[in-house]
Amino acid sequence: MDAANAPRQFSGIGTVGPFSPDGTLLPMGTMAGAVYLWDVAARKDRGTIQAHAGAVGAIAFAPDGKTLATAGRDGQVRLWKRTVAAYPEPAPGDDGPKPAELFLVRATVEVKHTDVVQAPTDMLTDLAFAPDGKSFAATNQNRLIRLWKFRDGRVTDWATLEGHTHYVYAVAYSPDGKALATAGGVHDQPGELRLWDLTGDTPKPRGILQGHRTTVRQLAFASDGARLAAGDESGAVIVWDVAAGQPAASFQPHFAPIHGLAFSPDGQLIATASQDRSAKILDAATGRVRRTIRDFKGWVQSVAFAPDGKRIVTGDRDSLGKVWDVATGKKLATLGGQVNWIEGVAFSPDGRWVVCASLGGTVKWWDATTYRLRTTLMPPGNHRVYRAAFSPDSRFLAAGTSDGTVVIWEVRPPTEP
Ordered DSSP codes for 244-278: TTEEEEEE-S-SS-EEEEEE-TTSSEEEEEETTS-
Asked if the structure places residue 29 within a domain, the reply is yes
Asked if the structure places residue 346 within a domain, the reply is yes
| Residues spanned by the domain of 71 | 3-107
pLDDT of residue 417: 38
pLDDT of residue 379: 78
How many residues are present in the chain?
A: 417
Q: Quick one: 283 and 329 in the same domain?
A: yes
H or E segment at 323?
Answer: strand 321-325
pLDDT of residue 120: 47
Q: Which CA distances in Å does 66 have to 35, 69, 335?
A: 16, 10, 30
Q: Quick one: 78 and 179 in the same domain?
A: no
Q: Quick one: 199 and 259 in the same domain?
A: yes
CA nearest to 22, candidates 57, 66, 58: 66
Contacts of 218 (CB under 8 A, 6+ apart): 169, 170, 183, 230, 231, 258, 259, 260, 261
Residue 407 near residue 112, CB atoms below 8 Å: no
Q: Quick one: 175 and 250 in the same domain?
A: yes
CA distance 34 to 292: 49
Q: Quick one: 99 and 115 in the same domain?
A: no
Q: Which CA distances in Å does 348 have to 106, 163, 179, 216, 396?
A: 25, 32, 22, 25, 9
Of 90, 107, 124, the residue at which a domain comes to its end is: 107
Asked if the structure places residue 351 within a domain, the reply is yes
Angle, CA of 184, 190 and 192, to the nearest 5°: 35
Asked if the structure places residue 152 within a domain, the reply is yes
pLDDT of residue 13: 75
Asked if the structure places residue 254 within a domain, the reply is yes
CA nearest to 128, candidates 220, 23, 10: 220
pLDDT of residue 40: 75
φ, ψ of residue 111 in degrees (nearest 5): -140, 135
Q: Quick one: 11 and 28 in the same domain?
A: yes
pLDDT of residue 188: 81
Q: Quick one: 276 and 248 in the same domain?
A: yes
Q: Quick one: 21 and 65 in the same domain?
A: yes
pLDDT tens-digit readout, 125-172: 888 999 999 998 988 777 889 898 987 767 788 999 999 998 899 999
CA distance 271 to 253: 10
Q: Quick one: 126 and 96 in the same domain?
A: no
Q: Quick one: 209 and 307 in the same domain?
A: yes
H or E segment at 353?
Answer: strand 353-358
Asked if the structure places residue 417 within a domain, the reply is no
Tally of domains in the chain: 2
CA distance 371 to 295: 19
Which parts of the chain sit beneath pLDDT 70? 1-11, 47, 53-54, 73-77, 82-123, 153, 412-417
Burial zone of 115 (CB within 10 Å; 0-12 exposed, 13-18 middle, 19+ buried): middle
Q: Quick one: 178 and 136 in the same domain?
A: yes
Q: Quick one: 142 and 185 in the same domain?
A: yes
CATH of the domain at 236: 2.130.10.10
Of 65, 90, 107, the residue at which a domain comes to its end is: 107
**Its pTM surpasses 0.75:** no
CA nearest to 108, candidates 148, 79, 72: 79
- Rg of the chain taking only CA atoms, in angstroms: 24
CA nearest to 267, candidates 221, 312, 235: 221
Of 62, 78, 107, the residue at which a domain comes to its end is: 107
pLDDT of residue 193: 97
How far apart, in Å, do the first and last CA atoms of the chain sit? 45
